[in-house]
A and B are shown apart, each in its own frame.
Chain A
Amino acid sequence: MPPLTRWFLRSSLIFFVLALILGLVTTLLREGGDPQVGAVAQAFSPVYFHLFLVGWVTQLIFGVVFWMFPKYSMERPRGFESLGWASFILLNAGLILRAVFEPLHALQPAAGLGWLLALSAVLQWLGGLAFVANTWGRVKEK
């Protein structure tokens, strides 16, 4: 298993646990019945879905694809590894930014936080595109 796959998989496992912890905590908060606390729980709802689906599922797929797909070439079996690392760093940086600032922005909208959300959007987008760019050439017969 190449180092980048290990980073993707370990990071995905961390996000899996974090997502489920967040799911449990927000459920408990909602069940408390306090509408203000319920609003706080609601602010974390998009973060829960994205920690699970991007942090866990997508990142696990990225890591396994980088490891198992056909070789790009004899010289570059896994394509351009720098693109793979860029994908890992950008995706995780963007997701962490989102996890912190999306609920804060929902609860107390402020201009500074808005820019951080936009930055998070760009980082995750570039991370996804870097993965597509590096994987495309490895989708072939052999």
Chain B
Amino acid sequence: MPALTIWSVRFALVYLGLGFTFGALMLWNKGLPISGALWSLLPAHIDFLLFGWTVQLILGVSFWILPRFKHPPKRGNEKLAWGAVILLNAGVLLVAISPFLAQLPWILTASRAAQLISALLYMLHAWPRIKPTGT
């Protein structure tokens, strides 16, 4: 596994653990109520599991297994992929803190913008690697 894959998959596993923890707290709270405040974990639960876990795992593993180039840099423009990973994580973290910073409504917009730019960067990285193996 290349370094970017190791980082992104480890982050993905952390988000999986946190996302499941938040989900379990909310489900427990549904059956045996603890506090209504636990529902503020819902945006983090959704974003941690959809973007932090699923999207980030796909991003990291595809960086690892997509066809490489014959000549260095074998995985193409790695800076684009690193930018995608950093922005994806920034976006997820901003969504998680957004319910606690209601006085800063732009945070949610910023998080979605970061995730969009992350997707664009990753598309630019991966596009040339979608090719027959060995070419």
- Which secondary structure characterizes the binding site on chain B? helix
Judged by a CB distance under 8 angstroms, whether B52 is at the interface is: no
Interface size in chain A (residues, C-beta < 8 A): 29
The reply to whether B28 and A117 contact each other, CB–CB distance below 8 Å, is: yes
Residues of A within 8 A of B119 (CB): none
The reply to whether A121 and B10 contact each other, CB–CB distance below 8 Å, is: no
Known: A61-B54, A141-B6. A129 touches B31 (CB 8 A): no
The reply to whether B10 and A116 contact each other, CB–CB distance below 8 Å, is: no
Chain B 58-84: CB-based contact to A (< 8 A → 1; otherwise 0): 000000000000000000000000000
Judged by a CB distance under 8 angstroms, whether B13 is at the interface is: yes
Q: Which of B15-23, B86-94, B99-107 contacts A (4 or more CB under 8 A)?
A: B15-23
Known: A139-B10, A139-B13. A124 touches B20 (CB 8 A): yes
Judged by a CB distance under 8 angstroms, whether B1 is at the interface is: yes
Known: A61-B57, A141-B6. A125 touches B20 (CB 8 A): yes
Judged by a CB distance under 8 angstroms, whether B27 is at the interface is: yes
Interface size in chain B (residues, C-beta < 8 A): 23
Q: Which of A4-12, A31-39, A77-85, A130-138 contacts B (4 or more CB under 8 A)?
A: A130-138
Known: A53-B49, A139-B6, A139-B10. A129 touches B28 (CB 8 A): no
A141 to chain B: closest residue by CB: B1
Judged by a CB distance under 8 angstroms, whether B120 is at the interface is: no
Residue numbers of B with Cβ under 8 A of A are 1-2, 5-6, 9-10, 13, 16-17, 20-21, 23-25, 27-28, 30-32, 49-50, 54, 57
Complex A-B, nearest 8 residue pairs according to Cβ-Cβ distance, in ascending order: A117-B31, A128-B20, A125-B24, A114-B31, A121-B27, A121-B24, A121-B28, A118-B31
> Can you spell out 20 A-B residue pairs with CB atoms less than 8 angstroms apart?
A53-B50, A57-B54, A61-B57, A105-B30, A114-B30, A114-B31, A116-B31, A118-B28, A120-B27, A121-B24, A121-B25, A122-B28, A124-B24, A124-B27, A125-B20, A132-B13, A135-B13, A139-B1, A139-B13, A142-B1
